[in-house]
Structure 1
Amino acid sequence: MSAETTAHVEHEPDLSRYTLWQDGEPVGLADYRVVGQEMQFTHTEVNPAKRDHGLASILVEQALDDVRTRTNLTVVAACPFVAEWINTHAEYQDLLSRGR
């Protein structure tokens, strides 16, 4: 079974984060803060024992999909991983400039 079929992301607005779950356990997170009309992704991490399986990409993709469908906020990729992920996924680059 692939990581993609067993992993899912939950938005936890009270904690200002998206949490990645796999097999009923949290294995990663993407922290953010909302400042004005911006959602600033500040930190992303995946449990070291679970790295190299594409989980961080699943986390970022699902978090950005949620931002796109649920808000009109502009994404600020303060986290280097999020910045690099968006840089290599052209279909998400519009999130960096919308609302401006």
Structure 2
Amino acid sequence: MTQAAAPIVRNVDARHRYEILVGEVTAGFTAYRDREGQRVFFHTETDDAFAGQGLASVLVQEALSHVRASGKRIVPVCPYVAKFLKKHEEFTDLTDPVTPEILQWLETTLAR
């Protein structure tokens, strides 16, 4: 009997996202842009083939832990990241609110 590979989370800075891999397959990602010491998370998704396995939670936990280690702050524009933060108060100290200014900045940045 073969055991499934443990998921691995990696930061792919050139693509502005963290990816979660199961074996050799990218099972999901959470996308971000950096702004003045903040990492603004705006979208998270997992492939349907991996739904229901808790991979999005593992992905976001690892991504936010990486942000903490890097000294940046978190801005949860992404609804999944915002929901995750409500359940994981250990990241409250490095979370900034989503403001109209940040949303405008993100819209402009993503349009480039």
Q: TM-score range with shorter-chain normalisation?
A: 0.7 to 0.9
Aligned to 2:27: 27
Alignment partners' CA distance in 1, 2:18 and 2:39: 12
Unaligned runs of 5+ in 2: 97-112
Matched letter for residue 84 of structure 2: W
Matched letter for residue 28 of structure 1: G
Q: Deviations over 1:69-97 (max 9, x none)?
A: 1x221100000000000110111111205
Aligned to 1:41: 41
The alignment covers a number of residue pairs equal to 94
Unaligned runs of 5+ in 1: none
Q: TM-score, normalised by structure 1?
A: 0.88
Structure 1 residue runs of 4+, over 4 Å off?
none
Mapping of residues 8-27 of structure 1, within 5 Å = 8-27=8-27
The higher relative CO (CA closer than 8 Å, separation ≥ 6) is in 1
Which has the larger strand fraction? 1
